[in-house]
Amino acid sequence: MRSRGLIAFREYLSAYTGSTAFTGLVADIDAVSGALESVRYCLNIRGNRVRVTRYEGEADYGEQIQRTFAKFAKRAAKDYRATFRNWPEMNHIEERIVDLVARLYPDVFRALDEFRARHAAYLDDTIRVFDREVKFYAAYLTLIAPMRKTGLEFCYPDVSAESKHIGAQGCFDLALAAKLVSRDATVVRNDFHLTGPERIFVVTGPNQGGKTTFARTFGQLHYLASLGYPVPAREATLFLPDRVFTHFEREEDLATLRGKFEDELVRIRDVLDRATADSVVVMNESFASTTLRDALYVGERVLDRMTSMGLLGVYVTFVDELASLNEACVSMVACVVKDNPAERTFKLVRRPADGLAYAEAIAGKYGLTYRQLKERLTA
């Protein structure tokens, strides 16, 4: 092994297995198990009554009977022996039998009770946590194995708890990739980076253009990196956040007696109250349920708060003006095919937001582009 974590855990196990707590547990297990193995009892079943007694060396004639009647066997006999259920729980009859056996061997079962009380919290916390986390890690590797076979790249990122100069090349959304790979579909990958005072990606562009996918990817990269997992990217340099917060649009909840816009304000207030300068915040299509004027006003206030805190984040919006709010905001635009604005490329690039692709796509949907109008007027 070369992993510092696994080497340290191996050393911890070596020390633990040599500790008094562990050696004492092993010795107690051997003593109690040996005592339980010495327990022998007989069942006398007559009708619906069961009598439990100590085993006093009563003869077992089963083997002798089999030898006597073996010479009369012409073919395999049907096995009439009863079988026991394979689950560990006992029924009420079995429980009563064990209670009676315990009365026949009080010292043995008293030692068992004392063993349980003495070692009720036997499981070491470090081993318990490792056991749970290594299973999750193995499950994650199983999840990404089919993606790797198709050529999608995963890497262990360079991470820092101080530097917020981050970037990734060839990154993609893990959940979407899992679906696309199962359908033999192409997974579009993107690049991003933040340097200097840059902290927030403000993402604009047409609907269904990959904006939400990019927002999810950004959050996933930082969350998976904080767990120490390979991230979905060819290369990545990431910040280790204290927490990852998300703010996605959701349906109105009648129980809250709040409209969608009010609910969004309440939720983002809660996020910003708990976030710190070391947090990552992902906001997707926030405040789209209100007017452009209100969305611009609230968006400016939220982004001002986020940038003043110095946290990292993504802000997906339909308001182009927010993309150039201050030097901490970096504009990224979801692209469309140059000759066909209605067709998405799902690639995002760093450039100023202009809204032209979005407007032209809407115009094309209703047959109102310059080319379409000219063809109709000259027809």
Summarize the confidence of residues 321-342 as an average pLDDT.
Answer: 85
Alpha carbon 198 to its chain's center = 29
User: Over 90: is that where the pLDDT of 295 sits?
Assistant: no
DSSP-derived 3-state class of residue 78: coil
| Of 144, 225, 228, the residue nearest 187 (C-alpha) | 144
| Of 135, 127, 132, 174, the residue nearest 152 (C-alpha) | 174
Report how far residue 268's alpha carbon sits from residue 287's, in angstroms, rounded to the nearest whole number.
Answer: 10
Compute the mean pLDDT over every residue in the chain, rounded to the nearest whole number: 89
Summarize the confidence of residues 357-376 as an average pLDDT.
Answer: 75
Confidence at residue 68, expressed as pLDDT on a 0 to 100 scale: 87
Query: What one-character DSSP code corresponds to residue 310?
Result: T
User: Over 90: is that where the pLDDT of 76 sits?
Assistant: no
CATH class in words for 138-378: alpha beta
Summarize the confidence of residues 217-239 as an average pLDDT.
Answer: 96
User: Over 70: is that where the pLDDT of 1 sits?
Assistant: yes
Residue 234, phi then psi, degrees to nearest 5:
-75, -45
> Which residue has better confidence, 355 or 61?
61
Domain boundaries along the sequence of the chain: 4-118, 138-378
Confidence at residue 155, expressed as pLDDT on a 0 to 100 scale: 97
User: Over 70: is that where the pLDDT of 250 sits?
Assistant: no
- Per-residue model confidence as pLDDT tens digits over 57-68: 888 888 888 888
User: Over 90: is that where the pLDDT of 370 sits?
Assistant: no
Summarize the confidence of residues 224-240 as an average pLDDT.
Answer: 96
User: Over 70: is that where the pLDDT of 253 sits?
Assistant: no
> Which residue has better confidence, 248 or 162?
162
- Per-residue model confidence as pLDDT tens digits over 111-153: 999 999 999 988 899 999 999 999 999 999 999 999 999 999 9
Q: Taking the model in full, what pTM does it have?
A: 0.72
Contacts of 228 (CB under 8 A, 6+ apart): 5
Contact 314, 204 (CB under 8 A): no
User: Over 90: is that where the pLDDT of 77 sits?
Assistant: no
At residue 286 the predicted structure's pLDDT band, cuts being 50, 70 and 90, is confident
Show contacts of 325-329: CB within 8 Å, 24+ apart. 325/202, 325/300, 327/197, 327/198, 328/197, 328/198, 328/199, 328/200, 329/198, 329/199, 329/200, 329/202, 329/303
Q: Which residues pair with 239 in a beta bridge?
A: 160
- Per-residue model confidence as pLDDT tens digits over 18-59: 999 899 999 999 999 999 999 999 999 998 899 999 998 888
